[in-house]
Structure 1
Amino acid sequence: MDVQLIAYTQLSEDFKQEIQEFYSSVNDRAAIALSAIRTCYSHNKPSEIVKLEGEKYFNTNATDGEKGSEADRLIRQIVKSKHLSTLEHINYTFSVEGVSRALLGQLTRHRHFSFSVQSQRYVRLGSDDKSGGFNFVSPESLEGKVLSEENIISAQEIFNSAMAMLQSSYDDLRKAGVPAEDARSILPQATTTNLVLTGNLRSILEIYSKRKNGSGAQKEIVHLVEFIKERILSVDPWLEPFFN
């Protein structure tokens, strides 16, 4: 699995110019969050909030006794009160490579994500195709498991044998003239795929809370959400408390 952050919400150049007095010390996503949150409670216009209230929120220590600024305190309050629609204005886009179709199915159980997924209709997965055949993800639970202590047949060997058989069957179907869109029906959930995934901050925090390490979720999706957290914190370290 490889997960990379390829894009995230930023302030427009015009808006940056308007708030340049604060911009050198204000994170784009934090400024957007403040604008959205305070719009709900302030008589000031959304375009003016950072200029008129930025000094109070970004340059004052948190008054709740916790770390960060008053802006951090305000976002903590919003998260605790579940007024999370204000975080939907912040988006992150990831390239996600080499994950199983089983994981893709789990992702679709969560809302407000956008997906662009590698097609098994147009990307041929035969042994003689450009792909060289389908790749697959082996569940971590296979490790160390054996069918018989006498024959010492490992679970991984059984799994690999099944994958090889399905590859051979896929190849035979294609040679028989079956279109790729129909031959793909026999491909397993373990087959790898690639996708571009975009989600807003609210949705990302929600999926992380349900799939993080220790949640009981399947290991592959645990790894995914932990990678997503790591990539986001690389550009927005101020969000770490909200993942915890």
Structure 2
Amino acid sequence: MPVVQNLDVRLLAETPDALSLIYAAFRQCYHAGFVGDMWPKLLSGEISQDKQAEFIEKVMQSGHDSPIEHVSFTFAISGVSRALTHQLVRHRIASYSQQSQRYVDAGGFGYIMPPAIAGIPEAKEVFESFMAHAEETYGKLQELLAHRGKKSNEDARFVLPNAAGSKIVVTMNCRSLIHFFELRCCMRAQWEIRALADLMLKECRMALPVVFAVAGAKCERLRYCPENAAFTCGKYPLLGQ
């Protein structure tokens, strides 16, 4: 029953011709003609990508960002806990496909150990003891429910901890991703999901910099902390200070 050491985030897919698609969507809002006729020019390079990016950046700076919803990114994620995925799936404008504890045998499950626990020998010992007990209990329940065949997993899983490792595929559109990054890249976000958000943001910035260059914690864009004095991390001044 190993400690899961490595968070792994891989960008599986993104909407093809993402830059041109966003440009076309933005242009249709302000263009008297039909962007369907413009599309071949975008793909051929007749309207350069630099020009497309410049237009997108300018319009987004005005606060108009709904057209970026037409582009989405799909990530494969492993090395995360069930505690993290319970937070992740609360971002509702997204699609999720998670490894099932009902159908996948969790015997010998890997688990995530919080750094704060790992750094205190006594806490680490208590934590590891509980993980071993959870694994043992899971196995005993599987044996007692063996007459149910593979269905034994669906009831034995009730004793699995939030620390149990999981794998998940996530698809979000660009607007949802920006909102996700604003909340989860913040220093007040829980450490595990913040690490995930940072890696996802890195992939997005490489794939579509015009949209994600200034994405991240909300304070990075605003240059002030939107929290109140009781919750600020102190990295940026509060509004009005």
Work out the CA distance in 1 between the residues paired with 2:183 and 2:124.
29
Deviation, 1:50, is: 4.9
TM-score, length-scaled by structure 2: 0.76
Partner of 1:211: 184
Partner of 1:33: 22
Partner of 2:235: none
8 Å contact from structure 1 (residues 112, 203) kept in 2? yes
Partner of 2:13: 7
Work out the CA distance in 2 between the residues paired with 1:160 and 1:88.
43
Moved more, 186-195 or 173-182: 173-182
Q: Which runs of 5+ in 1 are unaligned?
A: 11-27, 60-68, 127-132, 146-152
Partner of 2:74: 93
Partner of 1:49: 38
Work out the CA distance in 2 between the residues paired with 1:112 and 1:56.
34
Q: Which runs of 5+ in 2 are unaligned?
A: 1-6, 147-151, 217-241
Work out the CA distance in 1 between the residues paired with 2:196 and 2:47.
33
Seen in structure 2, the aligned counterparts of structure 1 residues 158 and 58 have a Cα distance that, compared at 3 Å, is same
Deviation, 1:56, is: 9.8
Work out the CA distance in 2 between the residues paired with 1:70 and 1:56.
10
Matched, 1:163 2:144: no
Deviation, 1:81, is: 3.9
8 Å contact from structure 2 (residues 79, 166) kept in 1? yes
8 Å contact from structure 1 (residues 88, 202) kept in 2? yes
Alignment counterpart, residue 225 of structure 1, candidates 186, 194, 197: 197
Partner of 1:76: 57
Letter matched to residue 117 of structure 2: L
Matched, 1:177 2:158: no
8 Å contact from structure 1 (residues 38, 49) kept in 2? no
Q: How many residues align?
A: 204
TM-score, length-scaled by structure 1: 0.76
Letter matched to residue 119 of structure 1: S
SS of match in other structure, 1:83: coil
